[in-house]
Every structure is written in structure tokens, then in C-alpha cells.
Amino acid sequence: MTIGWLTGGSVWSKPILTVWSAPAGFTYSRLEQVDEFTVNVLPLRSPRRSSIAQRSGRDGNKFSHTGLTTVAAQKVRVPIIEQAVVHYECRVVHTTR
């Protein structure tokens, strides 16, 4: 998923990332199907940062257009981006509609 920001903290002594996804978006529909996701922080100067954000996964495979590669995550079923400098492996614990 491509996000422009996130909020992090702790709830009941568990680390929590809060992300927003619009109901009309492709990411929202995917999160309804698979309640896990990863947040991958690409290097600040990476030319791929803007190219991945400009494409929707609904229109095709973002990775084939950007040259980014995925590898297996350690805690969730969805992959992480190999070129990212930070990876957060997440499970949905609450939604608000």
C-alpha cells in the first residue's frame, strides 16, 4: 500500500501504526480480503518513491513498472520491499467505517 503518512504509538503496551485508506481505493478492498500489510520506507532520494505512488495496484503490478522487488516478511504473509530501508509488518486490529 502507498501511504503519505502514518501515526505510530503504543496501545495496551502493543506497538500500533495508524494508517488511513479510502473506501473507494484499491488498498481498502485488499485490506478487507487480507488483514495484514506492510509499510516499507524507501530511501528519501529514491527515484522509485514517486513512481510507485503514482500507480494503483488496481491497474497492474506496481513492481514490474518500478523495478522494486519483494521478499518474504518474517511475521506476516504479505511481502516487504527489498530496497526499503525500514519495514513494518502489520496486522489490522481495528477499523472505523
Confidence bin at 80 (pLDDT 50/70/90):
very high
* Overall domain count for the chain: 1
Q: Which residue has the higher pLDDT, 31 or 85?
A: 85
Contact at 8 Å (CB) between 37 and 70?
no
Whichever domain contains 32, its CATH number is 2.30.110.10
Q: What is the pLDDT of residue 85?
A: 93
97 part of a folded domain: no
Confidence bin at 51 (pLDDT 50/70/90):
low
Buried-exposed string 52-81: b where 16+ CB fall within 10 A, e elsewhere: beeeebeeeebbeebebeeeebeebeebbb
Contact at 8 Å (CB) between 42 and 48?
yes
38 part of a folded domain: yes
Judged by DSSP in three states, 38 sits in strand
- pTM score over 0.85: no
Q: What is the pLDDT of residue 9?
A: 92
75 part of a folded domain: yes
The mean pLDDT value of the chain amounts to 81
Structural domain boundaries enclosing 83: 7-91
96 part of a folded domain: no
